[in-house]
Structure formats: C-alpha cells, structure tokens
Chains A and B, each alone.
Chain A
C-alpha cells in the first residue's frame, strides 16, 4: 500500500542497514512561487487563452523573458525542470505572430521526439489563438515529400532540428526566401545539449543560418533555454555569437525534495568490493515504487537500462504486473517511445528504467522518486535527472547510488562537491578546424563568399585562407572578387552533426514467421553491442545475435532464454600520425599530437546473470574501426622503469594458489621436461618456477587458473622478466584507469568524450611504456590539448585518489579491481604515480 514518502524516508533514516550507506542527505525545502502580472502590452487573445487554461499571472522569470525580448535582447532562460520555460518563449513569439502577420519564427529542438512533443502543445495554442492550422509545421526527416512544398509556402512557425536545418533547409534557402526574409525569432531549446562536438557543429550551422538570414535582410532575435550549467552565458554567446541576457531566477513553486547519496556497503573488504550499485538501486527503486509512487531509474548505459527492466520486474513481481515496468532508451522505435511516455504521464507505467534519452524535456509529468544508478557523468546531468522527481505539491526524492568507479566514490566521500559546486561548464569550440572546414564548404555552397566576408566571429583573413585551401581541392573557384562553390557535390550530405556515423544497423528478428525490426544501433556501436553471439537486451527480452552484416547493415537476432549475458573484448592500438608538442615531465616525457586509434572487437566474455560469474569466452571476427584524433600521452623514461625495478616496486604479495597447486605445478614441470620454456635452461638442483600465462587473479576459480594449459615452466630469471612485464602492464593500466575517470572532472566533459589506453610497449613512445588519453571526436575538440597543459595537476590528483583509497590491492574506486588488469595493480600504479607526481623534472 502507498504510504507517504516521508514515512519511507524515515524508515530508511532509522534502519541501520540502509542509514549506514547513506553518505549525504540534502533537503530542498518547499518553495513558494513568485509571480508577476501579465504584461500590459500582451496580445489580448493570448490573455484570454491563458486565463482559459487557469493561468492568471506569470512566474517572474517568464515576465523577465518577455521584457528582454521586447527590449530586443537575446534571452537565455536557465531555470529548473518544469518551470515553464516553454511558455516563457512561446509568449513573446505568439504575441508577435498575432500582432504582425508577416512574422516568422524558427524553433530548433535537439531531437525529433522533443520537437513532436512541443508541436502538439503549440498546435493547440495556435488553434486557440485562431491562427490557421498551416501556420505551424514540423519539418524534419519524417515529413513526407508531398507535404513539403505546402509547408515552405505557408509556415510561420517552423519546428525542426539542427540536422534538418543543416541538410534540408539551408542548402535550399531560395525555396524558403519568404521565410528567411521575415524571420524574426529563432528559439533554441535545451541549448546545453549543444556542447562538445555536436555543439561545435550546431554553432557553425547557426553561423550559416545568420548568414542566409542576412542575405534576405533579416537579423533574427534568439531565445535560448538551458538546463543548469556553469556557463550558460558563455555557451549561448558562443552558439549565437551575440551578447545574451541570462534569466536564471527560477520562480516556479516546488514541493520539498530530498536528495540522497547512497554508497553500497562493502561486501568483500579484501577486494574493496561493494555490493553492486545496480542491485542496490533495484532494491531502493522497488521500495519506492511500492510505497511512494511512480519511480524512474536512470542508467548510464543502454544495456544497464535493459538489465534494470528485467531485475525490476523480478523484484516487484508480487505487486506490479510486468507491463507497468518499462525501459526507455535510444534505439527504441519512435512510436514505441511515445507509448511509454504516455504511459508515464497517465501513471500506468509505475517504474521506468531509462537512459539519458529521457533527460531531455520530454514531457512525462513529475515523478515521486528518481534513482540514479551511478553518477551520470556530469553534475548538470545529475541535476537534470534528479529534476524529474518533483511535483508542484507534495514531496519527492532523488537518490544517487554510487557505483564503484573512482569518481562516484570520490563524490560519495565528498558530497559537498556534489551539492555545492557549480555544475560543469559546457565547452564548445566552433573553430575546431575539421568542423569549421566542413561547414565552410556548406556555407560556400549556400552563398558565394566575397573578399572581406567573415564567417561568424572568424575574421576575413582566416576565412580567405580556408577558402584558398578549398580552391586547391577544386571545390571553390576564386574569381577575383569572390569565391564560388564549383563541384558536383552536396556538401551537407557528407557532414553529420552528431558525428557518430549517420549509418545505422537495424536489428531484425523473426516473429510469427515475419521479419520484424525491433530497433537499431549506430554503426560505430554495432561491433560491440550486436557482434555475433552477443546477448542483446531489448525491453527485458534477451536476444542472441545470429549474424551481423555490416555491409547490408542488418543484425539478425533470435529471442532466447539464457542464463548469461556477454561483454565484448576489444583490442586497441594507438599509432602516431604527427607530433605537435613534447616536453619533459617528471618520470618521462609528455607529448601532444595527432594519432590514429584502431579498435577491434575480438571476442566476448560470458557472465552469469546476477552472480556475474565468468562462464567462458568466445571469438568474433569483425573489421576494425579507425578514429583519427588528437591525443596526449606520457611516455615513461627508461631510467624510471629501471629505478622502479631496482626498488622492487614491481614485485607483488604472495598469492594463495589453491589446494591443487603443488600437484599441478609438478605436472607442468614434468610436461615441460624440467626445462625453461623461454631460454631452454634445465633445472640445476633447484626446481624451476611455474608461471600462469593468464594471471591467476583473472580467474574466479583456482581450478580454472591452474589448468595445465595455462601453466608454463620458466627459470627464475625468465620468470622475473615475465612477471615484470605483467606488473608493468598492471601498473600502467592502473594509472590509465584512474586517469580515465578523473580527467573528465578537470575537462568538465562527458566521460565518453575521451578515452584512455595504456600500452607497455607503445608505438607512440618508441616501444617504451606509455599512457595515452585521446579525444573521441575525429580531429579532436581540444580535450587532449587541455590535458597536456594540466598534466602535473592530473598526476597529483590521481596520486591522491589512489593513496587515499583504503583498499589493499586495487579496487574499482582507484586503479580498477584487482585481478581485472593483471595482478594487483595498486602497488605498481602507486609507485608509478609517486614518481610521476614529483614536482621537478
């Protein structure tokens, strides 16, 4: 039965089991709304409509937006989830549409789903305002060709997304001449999404938009909205390249909201292992759904969301029917998503497991509770997800369940960081050379450039330099006074704003003898998500992948009932393309340059559901993917390696090899003829060593580890060399692990924006050990450059994290769990970091 949320929270607060794991508990007290009367000049028809909806006044932030727009400014509305941002921009736009029949407005939403959502609301508003239905239209990839000419002719409020603007509208601007000529407003909703690579693309699309508007004599006013980020003014100003007015005083009323950080209890102190965040989240979410009401669980990954659906269904089987628990993530078909959203709004869906796909303003109403499985990567995202919990009246709760990764553990120990620190800055670099280059081609296709023209804030000299380079390719033709596009190409077609390849792989299965498409994945992810034999989850159903055809872009799946799931094994190499900078650093040398990252999925591991017991491995044969990007790397000096070796820092504590070890050891020596298999030396009075080819700790059972096929006889000298190589690898891997988790905090980027790779014999460092951090954006977006400069600080913080971690031999919260990356990575990693964090070179 439902009990007030307060009662459940009180029980958690007093239950010793739960209370001990709650490391922070913050209460946002209820807040009354602050209101302002309707502006006196607001169009009377809008006043009537609002009053009919029971709205008799505005929140003050809505009134401030109105004033900013009327003063000709470019407002950025940065208020919380469900604070009426949409009305804030709709009001001035609708007012002008009613007031001046010529006015045109462009609404940009980051996704088609969001656009659809808003189109429905707006259509109702416009109808109520007696504007003809053709006034508003959505124009995106789903708009039928037959409807497009009529839309171009009639539309006054155009709803689209940056991708469509980029490929479908700007390159055909003459068909929209009338629209651009009268373009008065550009609304950019959810602006914070336009950061990183996507943001750099969108900033350039907006440069092109402004250039075309100017051609038709228009200079539209921009209205932007954003979730809470540290630098909305900066991001907005870089996106639209105009001075902006930030409106951030959220005046909407709010019920009380509790925010908890929950750190799962340690279950195996010797391994530093905590109970899994996933299972703890399932337990908490189950209780919340049972007692408090509608609950939303956020997972960081698509796979996590699927696992949650299946675990949650099991956990709540006694009081919820399976269909009351749904998943929500990218890859579901649009109609499927609409149905789940409606279920959430109407309350039929009691529990949903979602990825950040649900973070964006999709309207699902306020939830009673939100549970985050792990820190979503940025404070801004965490606040936005938490913002889903909350209703105008009544209490709500958000719980972040810390996962084992170092950043989560850091935040669980330092909640002040979580609550008090300003959220991340959203960084974009519209002048990323590759991105700029692509959009300059598109811009030239759209209109010739005259000598002396700038492009956004790029000065004419730079534009001229790029256009001259473009003339070398033959795509631009200089005529003396200007440059014209001269190629049989449509450049926008080659440029995907999302950067992930525009290609998708469809997931096909057979149901009732009919091929059915259950979803899709982008081509880049296909190799590791749906490689042959992979177990793929879709709304709680498990499928096994029979085949993956990357040419036809079809993965064939079969519904199966398995007791295991799979994890891909990948192999990465990072090759040097061109070195840009190098400087001595403590313990070695740091480098910055262009690199080529080649990744290949080579196989997969099988794990048992729930227990995560390793059941075996499989092989996969797939072509590699290549990423040209920029990287920053640290190469260890040979002296450092020698020094560490001399100090014995690469040595390791003895391990208990299990009861069958003496027997297995004897058999291995006998099999190998008592001869070192490396140098051929026979035993002389003293038994040779027996070495585990795959380190002992990588196995969950000693029997598996001590199989004869995993053993090899080595003389003490060769054995030491082999062990050192393993330890070197594990030490480096440990450093890489902690770097990969901490660097995003310094870069204020998403974790997926960068990647880390450790190599004991790196081609980047003439075969010496190196750790490389690279941008995931082709061509790089500046992250590696920042890290190159931040190197010493980064080493200090990494050392701090590892040395303060209480675990004995490495855990997921510092250098990675023992046994996963070689033998006990903590000692060697710590020794390494101590050298690398020295003050002087």
Chain B
C-alpha cells in the first residue's frame, strides 16, 4: 500500500515544499521578532503578547495634515446616524487597523496583527499587537480589550465591513467578550466614497493618503496583498526581518486615518469657505448634506458647485438634484429654469417634469404637449425607450384627448 502522501499525490493533491522556507530553527534564533523589532511582551490573563509602541508628537503631520486631535463637526455625527456624537473627547477615540491572513473572511482568517492608535497629551500613540504564533491569539485579544477600555469612537477604514466583524469572529471563537460592540463606528471608507467617488479613480487608503494628504511612504512599506504570505513565511522560518515592513505598513495606515479624519472634519466643518478647493468636492458635500437632512446647506452647496464650473455629467447631476430638492419643497417656480436648462441639454426627466408642471399646475396643455413630444424625440436608445416610452406615450395620448385632437 503506498503511503498517504503518495496516495494524495496520485489524486492530484500537491504536497511538499513549494517555495516554502525551511522550518523554524529549534535553537537560538538570531532573527526572532524580539531582536528585530523594538517591542516588549505585554502580560495578559492568557499569557504574554508582543507589542510595539510608538509616539508621534503633537506637531506631527501626515502629509500636510496635522494628526493631532480636533473635535469632529456635528455634521459628521449626523451623517453617521449614530446613537450619540462621535469624536467628542480625545481620550475616547481609538483608531484600529488589522493585518490578516487573508481577505476572504470566515472563521479561518486570522488577524495576526492589530494596530491601534490613541490621542495622548503629547500626541498620538500607536500600539501594534502581534502574535508570534496563532496560539497567542487569546492573549492578543485580551490585550486589545484592555487597550480599548474607555473607547467611545472607533475609527477604521472599511472596518465596518472587514476589521470589526473579523475581530468579533475571533473573540467568539476564543469564547471571549468582544470590546467592539459598544463604541460608535466611524468608518472612513464609506465617507471617502461619498466624497470622492466622482473625483478620484480609487478610494483606497494608500491612494487617498497621497492624493488628499500629499503623504508618501518610505520604501520600507510592503504592498498589502503580500502581507499574508510574509506572515506565513515568518511562521515557518521564525525570521522576523520581513515583518518590519508589515509593522511600518500598519502604522502608516493608522496615521493616514488620523490625517484623513482631520481633513474630512475640515471639509464638513466649513463646507462653504474657500478651503474646499475642488468644485466636485463641493457637489459631493452637497449630496452628503442632503442625505444628512441639512437641506438648506445642501441647496447652497449645489448652487456654489454649479457656479464653480463642473464637468458636464456632474453639472447635470447637480441640476437634477437641486431641481428635485426644490420640487420637494414646492418651489416649482425656482425649479422651472433649471428644468428648462436641463431639457435644452437633452435630459428627458426635465421634459417630463415640465410637461407635468404645465399640465397639472399651469394648466397649459399645449405647452405640456410640447414638452411631452420633446421628451419623446429624445428616446434614441433602447434603454431610454425602456425607461420612458410608455409613460410619455400615455401622457401624449391623454393630452391629445384633452386638447380634442
């Protein structure tokens, strides 16, 4: 009988060391994590866990943005729709970012490193917890719990979707209480999407850090996709040298979040002043204000962005949103010039709105029919036909009937 490995191989299972480093040396390890990284072991009820701490003074800037604490504007909390205001006191804010063994989620993905950052009197402190073996996971989680005591706002980048559920899974698997249920979640990714969807080609933290904050990283940084493999390799070889880059990457992510939050706070605090440099940002802010229920501010921002010179597609978007906002408030007279402008530009919805206005409000059936037919003449593509044809035809028939034609 062939042995197990042979039988598995025969079935097409690929066994054996493919690019795998040799196993960890048993004796003294010159590249142990304690020799490579300036850290110490924190004691917990579940044993010690390795931690690297760093301080960034009150004058530290990430790119051109200071990383020091500033209270978040009320608009941010309104938009977050949280049960209580976020980022009110420096000592209750924590930033969190994990490095994991994969992106697929599920119970088999570990957070082998959890970085947190806190505001201290002298600036920002980062603490990076790291497990030198998966057996240290309970200790890492216990240390994280005690670090997060007193945290009321947890700032992450995509944490709602990824880091937080992943850590909650880890706590549950270790039958431990999760400290992540109570703080308000301030996830910067959805906010970034809101603000820069139209202006920037990507919304990854690394990209925003460069494009918005003007910060660059040193060559110590490692690409995120390599991180799981660097950890797997470390687990086998015990050689912690390649991990320096992972610690650096994680730390920079934490600082980038702090800088980004301050930048967003600037925008939200005084959206009308000159600091909002880009008209597209102003349009994004208008949409954000509108969805947060700050309608008057939104209207002002829409008008400012329309005046500032937007690209055509965004200009039409702003027109459509502003006119819809005015219509909801019953300010039809003010909406009409906007619709006329949009209709000139071939927007079918505007023709429909005008037709409705003339049919039901102004009771000018001839004008109504004119705009209906203008709309029909714009149905040049199948998708437009699918969306509008039936509605416009119906209206046209009714108007013909009412006009006695």
Chain A residues packing against B (C-beta within 8 Å): 171-175, 177, 433-434, 437, 444-448, 465-466, 469, 472-474, 477, 479-482, 484-491, 493, 577-578, 580, 594, 628, 778-779
Contacts and interface: CB of A to CB of B under 8 A. Distances in A.
Nearest to B228: A488
Contacts of B20: 474
Given A171-B108, A177-B172, A482-B135, 7 more contacts: A437-B13, A473-B16, A474-B236, A477-B235, A487-B232, A490-B102, A628-B11
A486 B107 CA distance: 11
A399 B146 CA distance: 74
B106 to A, nearest CB: 4
A489 B133 CA distance: 19
B2 interface: yes
B17 interface: yes
Which 3 pairs of residues, A with B, have the shortest CB-CB distance?
A445-B108, A488-B102, A490-B104
B16 A447 contact: no
Contacts of B173: 174, 447
Contacts of A594: 10-11
A513 to B, nearest CB: 10
Nearest to A626: B12
16 contacts: A434-B13, A437-B11, A445-B107, A465-B4, A472-B5, A473-B13, A473-B16, A473-B18, A488-B101, A488-B102, A488-B229, A489-B104, A490-B102, A491-B108, A493-B104, A594-B10
A469 to B, nearest CB: 6
A277 B14 CA distance: 48
A316 B134 CA distance: 70
B168 A489 contact: no
B135 A447 contact: no
B331 interface: no
Identify whether the interface residues of A are mostly helix, strand, loop, or mixed: mixed
B16 A486 contact: no
B372 to A, nearest CB: 27
Contacts of A580: 2
B107 A174 contact: yes
B403 interface: no
Contacts of B5: 469, 472
Interface in B1-45: 2, 4-5, 7-8, 10-18, 20
Nearest to A593: B10
Contacts of B15: 469, 472-473
Residue among B17, B135, B228 with the highest chain A CB neighbour number at 10 A: B135
B204 to A, nearest CB: 18
Contacts of A437: 8, 11, 13
B8 A174 contact: no
A172 B106 contact: yes
B10 A172 contact: no
Given A174-B173, A484-B110, A488-B229, A473 B14 contact: yes
Interface string B92-108: 00000000011111111
Contact of A433 (B7, B103, B106, B169): B7
Contacts, number: 104
Contacts of B105: 172, 490
B13 A445 contact: no
A175 B103 CA distance: 17
Contacts of B17: 472, 474
Nearest to A594: B10
A447 B107 CA distance: 7
Contact of B134 (A448, A489, A490): A448
Interface residues of B, number: 36
A515 B297 CA distance: 47
A807 B192 CA distance: 81
Residue among B7, B106, B235 with the highest chain A CB neighbour number at 10 A: B106
Contacts of B235: 477, 486
A434 B236 CA distance: 26
Nearest to A482: B135
Contacts of A172: 105-107
Contacts of B2: 578, 580
B135 A480 contact: yes
Contact of B108 (A175, A465, A466, A485): A485
Residue among A171, A172, A474 with the highest chain B CB neighbour number at 10 A: A474
B161 to A, nearest CB: 12
B232 A490 contact: no
A446 B108 contact: yes
A363 B39 CA distance: 66
Contacts of A447: 107, 173
Nearest to A177: B172
B9 to A, nearest CB: 9
A614 B10 CA distance: 43
B167 to A, nearest CB: 11
Given A444-B108, A469-B5, A479-B135, A474 B11 contact: no
Contacts of B104: 488-490, 493
Contacts of A472: 5, 15-17
Nearest to B14: A473
B4 A469 contact: yes
Given A174-B172, A474-B20, A488-B229, A469 B8 contact: yes
Residue among A172, A485, A491, A594 with the highest chain B CB neighbour number at 10 A: A485
A448 B228 CA distance: 18
A437 B228 CA distance: 23
A487 B4 contact: no
B40 to A, nearest CB: 22
Residue among A172, A175, A447, A486 with the highest chain B CB neighbour number at 10 A: A486
Nearest to B231: A486
Contact of A466 (B4, B14, B134, B135): B4
A778 B11 contact: yes
A716 B7 CA distance: 51
A485 B17 CA distance: 17
A486 B102 CA distance: 9
Contact of A779 (B11, B107, B108, B236): B11
B134 A484 contact: yes
A488 B103 contact: yes
A487 B107 contact: no
Interface string B125-140: 0000000011100000
Given A433-B8, A466-B4, A469-B5, A173 B107 contact: yes
Nearest to B225: A488
A487 B169 contact: no
A479 B172 contact: no
B106 A171 contact: yes
Contacts of A175: 169
Nearest to A215: B173
Contacts of A445: 106-108
Contact of B232 (A434, A486, A491, A778): A486
A778 B235 CA distance: 34
Contacts of A480: 135
B212 to A, nearest CB: 29
A486 B12 contact: no
Contacts of B232: 474, 477, 486-487
A445 B15 CA distance: 18
Contacts of B18: 473-474
Contacts of B11: 433-434, 437, 594, 628, 778-779
B134 A174 contact: no
A713 to B, nearest CB: 49
Given A446-B108, A489-B102, A479 B16 contact: no
Contacts of A628: 10-12
Nearest to A438: B13
A702 to B, nearest CB: 50
